[in-house]
Amino acid sequence: MTEQDARAREQRLARWRSCAVLHVDMDMFYVGVELLTAPHLRGRPVVVAAAGHRSVVLSASYEARAYGVRSGMPLARARALCPAAVLLEPHRQAYEQVSRRVMATFAELTDLVEQISVDEAFLDVSGAVRRLGPPVGIARGLRARIREELGLTASVGIGATKTVAKIASTRAKPDGLLLVQPEDTVAFLAELPVSALWGVGARTAEVLNGAGLRTVGDLAAVPVPRLVRLVGPAAGHHLHELASGRDPRPVVPVREEKSLGAEETFAQDVADTRVLHETLLRLSHRTASRLRRQGLRARRVGLKLRWADFSTITRSRTLAQPFTSAHDLHEHGTALLTELGRRPQAVRLIGIRAERLEPAGDALQLSLDGREEEWRAAEEAMDRVHARFGPGRLGPARLLRPAGTRGAPGAGPAVPAPGASPGRPGPNSQGVDSRVRDANSPPDGLSW
């Protein structure tokens, strides 16, 4: 290689590194995972949501979205918009399992991976371009690998900054790729609505629109003092920088999770303390299992209650010793519930959280009476049973289903091994996929 060739190569690498932030967003992730074991439903309107008239939509296929169905929408509203949709109940363990495989695939490309949710992450591939080529080629290879190995699709945005990459991935959906070169950044942003910028919610957008600022280009052109008067000093300066194509935030490879938790919305408002305690027990075991699986322990317990009128309260307490057991989580959660005294209304939603998380490590400080160690050992044994035989085989007596009942709480669809073809779900005794709830013929008396 001549000196001129070497110089040209270094210039090419420098250009690639100047636009090497990828935002990868899995398409309709929850629906996609469910369809791995129900491929015959591809092409049909599908909604993932728990059964019940108070449930909300977790995810919807693009066929359902064509009818106006959206994530977070009340299930009753989704039913009215798309009565022919197929309802699949969510399986969160399966989503976590697939998410780990997706993130592991990202980590093979670069160690600069910032996971921001179960189905999306930023990747900085500037350090990989010498080995793997231009970022757009890396993105194409990544999308092909996700499709071939996991049976899912992903949309990828590529830009010089995290803001641009994230907006680009949204514009590329579904199953697409969009590259925004540095010199095109300002023009790309200018025509977008102000709500496209990360951090501009409905209220901020309303304030900006009311002042005549409707596009990102408007924000870039307006003097900073005016923005400060509208939305405050911090937000005003921040939005002006983003609108001008400047976003200095790096891709941070370690995103510390500050809390883990679970919550449940009741089909009918609940005033029975026994039901609330049993629900807290179930949610505590779900949360503690995630703690141990992620190698974490917690120092604070949080309780969340939503009353029948939708007002919400939270309470928390810090423990003297860190914990990983559902027993401790439930014990202190119910104590917080008791401390509330007489409840003014029935409860619509209840939730439990493990907070102030830290790595569990190999050495745990022993509690004075040894109870935490005993409960932790018992629940770790239960984890091993669940890993081998499936969830629902072992647990607190109050939560175990009677022998002969179908299904186990939290059980999810089997995820195919890498490279394997997803299999069709097995039929029940009537020849019907027992996981599917079709709006036109709901089995077992379940109304869509």
Backbone angles phi, psi at 99, to 5 degrees: -60, -40
At residue 41, the pLDDT reads 96
pLDDT tens sequence across 392-423: 555 565 555 554 444 444 344 444 444 444 44
CB 393 within 8 A of CB 386: yes
Q: Provide the pLDDT for residue 395.
A: 58
The CATH number corresponding to 259-389 among 3.30.1490.100, 1.20.1250.20, 3.30.830.10, 2.40.50.140 equals 3.30.1490.100
- In angstroms, the CA 60 to CA 71 distance is 7
25 is in an annotated binding site: yes
Higher model confidence: residue 340 or residue 113?
113
pLDDT band at 186 (very low <50, low <70, confident <90, very high): very high
CA 190 to chain centre: 30
Residues 276-287 pLDDT 10s: 999 999 999 989
Out of 34, 89, 120, 331, pick the active-site residue.
120
Asked if the 12-180+401-437 domain carries CATH number 3.30.70.270, the reply is: yes
Question: Could you read off the pLDDT of 259-281 as tens digits, one per residue?
Answer: 889 998 888 889 999 999 999 99
pLDDT computed for residue 63 by the predictor: 96
Domain 12-180+401-437 matches domain 185-243 at the CATH topology level: no
* Amino acid 419: pLDDT: 42
Q: Is 372 a catalytic residue?
A: no
| Stretch (H or E) spanning 108 | helix 92-109
Confidence of residue 438 (pLDDT cuts 50, 70, 90): very low
Model confidence at 254, pLDDT cuts 50, 70, 90, reads low
CA 197 to chain centre: 20
- Please say whether the beta carbons of 194 and 209 come within 8 A: yes
Determine the average pLDDT of the residues in 346-374.
69
Give residue-wise pLDDT tens across range 14-60: 999 999 999 999 999 999 999 999 999 999 999 999 887 778 899 99
Structure tokens at 257: 């999770």
Domain at 185-243: CATH code: 1.10.150.20
Q: Where are the domains of the chain?
A: 12-180+401-437, 185-243, 259-389
What's the mean pLDDT when you consider all of the chain?
Answer: 82
- Do 372 and 321 contact (CB within 8 A), yes or no? yes
Please check the confidence at residue 100 and state whether its pLDDT lies above 70.
yes
**119 marked among binding-site residues:** yes
Whole-angstrom Cα Rg for the chain: 25
